[in-house]
Amino acid sequence: MSVKKYIQDNQEKFLNELLDLLRIPSVSADPKFKGDVFAAAEFVRESLEKAGADQVELCQTAGYPIVYGEKIIDPSLPTVLVYGHYDVQPADPYELWDSPPFEPVIKKTARHPEGAIFARGSADDKGQFYMHVKAFEAMMANNDLPCNIKFMIEGEEEVGSEHLDIFVKENKEKLKADVVLVSDTHMISLENPSVTVGLRGLSYMQVEVTGPNRDLHSGTYGGAVANPINILCKMIASLQDENNHITIPGFYDKVEEYSAAYRQALNDAPFDLEAYKKELDINDVHGEAGYSTIERVGIRPTLDVNGIWGGYTGEGAKTVLPSKAYAKISMRLVPNQDHKEISKLFEAHFKSIAPDSVKVKVTPHHGGQAAVVSTDTPGYRAADLAIQEAFGKKAIPTREGGSIPICSLFQQELGLDPILLGFGLDTDALHSPNEHYGVKNYYMGIETIALFFKYFKEQAGK
Ligand code: BES
Ligand code: ZN
């Protein structure tokens, strides 16, 4: 039997197993789900063992375990290190889901006419990393594993991969490989398959603005004492100018300007602006002047408020001048912008623009560096060839706006450019209510991944 036939014959089993994994609410950000995050790790361990991996273990960290497993068929063959994450984002707000986030259901959508699995983590990243486990199973069952394989599936990606960082630095020999393969990104569509060649970095800050030492009557004091919410809003508004350029001094110093030819190539990728606006129900897009939507997301840094709170937000009206106001602000960064340096620039600038009437506290959260990978590597060529065989089209290289901070760590610590072979779609609602993942994307992904191994063996030419 061929690997392809095995995958086709086992579609239903592969789908049901994924649904079982999706039933585990492995939310790493919320300690309430601690037991479930460990249960998901155990599920991954078992599935790797069943698929035929050796040395399968839960590598304990100060946080959630990293699931490791390998199959070394011949040390002289190339080795592929597969990375993924079994943790998921919180599902809140639950009331905005059409079906419960941890009770997966399959429904058709405009972009998934053959059905999509609706559940938290379906696309990010359970449905995607599990394709690798199933591709491995198929290759093993057919005695047709062309390369050595190592799996490293972590449980803290959604909270900054702090312990993976340490694990990678301490286990370079164990993780030695010829390429890192990651499915945790998007493709343009099944009709226009693509491979991600760039991800943005991230600097994430929390700010606290304090006015008076207690909440005050807004009649007695309003107009005479600084209202920290008013002030915070003004400060945030000033962080971008009328062209949506970020005003933090030094922010753009290391941002690379690309050639007209490079920008044209990015803009040549299929993109339907009208469909994009319609899908989001917006009349117009918004962003930095002088750049297209593809460029704004792929090659330009941004600043966004992720949450803002303070004062009275309950039922009815309460006349209050609050003592404090807060916001969570993230900046998506591009290559060469160091996230720690940007966090410092932000902090200095934010404090400098605060009027004397308030006090400001700035706390950095987790962050990460951007990554750009070359298309001139055996790994990229293997991904392209696998896509050509599975989809009948060449892969389009794309730059995406999301972040996977460990990608730059792989480059630095292991000297490997990760191959970002993702099968989700932009519209799959990652981190949002009603996250979903196309059933066809899942099956095509499994098939393409198995083909990657075939071509990587050829390309790596060992
Ligand atoms: N899978 C995403 C990253 C992603 C999203 C890549 C969309 C390309 C397109 C990943 O799991 C993620 O959400 N990462 C976080 C980073 C973080 C918590 C440090 C992100 O991008 O917000
Ligand atoms: Zn995510």
User: 184-239, pLDDT tens digit by residue?
Assistant: 999 999 999 999 999 999 999 999 999 999 999 999 999 999 999 999 999 999 99
Residue with CA nearest ligand 1 atom 6:
402
User: Is 202's C-beta closer than 6 angstroms to any atom of ligand 1?
Assistant: yes
**Residue 179: per-residue pLDDT:** 98
- State whether the beta carbon of 404 lies less than 6 angstroms from ligand 1: yes
201-255+301-367 shares the fold of 3-199+370-460:
no
Residue for token pair 């909270």: 159
Q: Which stretch of DSSP H or E encloses residue 136?
A: helix 126-141
Nearest to 454 by CA among 389, 394, 376: 389
174 vs 177: CA distance, rounded Å: 9
What pTM does this model have?
Answer: 0.95
Q: Which two tokens stand for residue 287?
A: 């962003």
Interatomic CA distance for residues 245 and 226, integer angstroms: 28
Ranges of residues in the chain whose predicted pLDDT is under 50:
none
How far is it, in rounded angstroms, from Cα 71 to Cα 81?
Answer: 11
Tell whether the torsion through CA atoms of 112, 113, 117 and 119 is positive or negative: positive
Which residue blocks in 23-98 are alpha helix, DSSP H? 34-51
What is the C-alpha separation between 58 and 66, in angstroms, rounded? 6
d(CA 241, CA 119): 39
Residue with tokens 């943005």: 200
Pocket test residue of 157, 183, 204, 332 for ligand 1, highest count of atoms within 8 A of CB = 157
> What is the 89 CA–ligand 2 centroid distance (Å)?
6
In angstroms, the CA 114 to CA 4 distance is 20
Atom of ligand 1 nearest to the CA of 200: 21
Which helix (H) or strand (E) covers residue 278, if one does? helix 273-280
Cα-Cα-Cα-Cα torsion 335, 343, 237, 221, nearest 10 degrees, comes to 170
Instruction: Specify the CATH superfamily of domain 3-199+370-460.
Output: Zn peptidases (3.40.630.10)
Q: Is 125 in the pocket of ligand 1 (CB under 6 A)?
A: yes
* Contact 400 CB / ligand 1 (< 6 Å): yes
Class (C level, CATH) for 201-255+301-367: alpha beta
> What pLDDT does 17 receive?
98
Residue reference for tokens 């992720």: 306
Q: Give the DSSP H or E segment for 420.
A: strand 418-420
Q: Where are the domains of the chain?
A: 3-199+370-460, 201-255+301-367
Q: Residues 139-152, buried b or exposed e (16+ Cβ, 10 A)?
A: bbbbeebbbbbbbb
Is 402 close to ligand 1, i.e. is its CB under 6 Å away?
yes
In terms of Cα–Cα distance, which of 194, 191, 192, 172 is closest to 183?
Answer: 194
Token reading at 125: 């990243």
Beta strand 302-310 pairing with 216-217: unpaired
Contact 141, 72 (CB under 8 A): no
Nearest Cα to Cα of residue 112 among 429, 390, 398: 429
R_g (Cα) of the chain, nearest Å: 23
Q: Is 127 in the pocket of ligand 1 (CB under 6 A)?
A: no
Nearest protein CA to atom 16 of ligand 1, as residue: 403
92 Cα to the center of ligand 2, angstroms: 14
Q: Which two tokens stand for residue 276?
A: 């994009």
What's the CA gap between 321 and 324, in Å, rounded?
9
The residues, ordered by sequence, that sit 6+ positions from 392 with a Cβ below 8 Å of its Cβ are: none
| Distance between Cα 392 and ligand 2 center (Å) | 29
Give the H/E segment covering residue 237: helix 228-237
pLDDT, residue 462, reads 59
Q: Which atom of ligand 1 is nearest to the CA of 123?
A: 1
Is residue 244 within 8 Å of residue 286, measured between CB atoms?
yes
What's the confidence (pLDDT) of residue 366?
86
Counting from 1 in the atom list of ligand 1, the atom nearest the Cα of 159 is 18
Report pLDDT for 461. 78
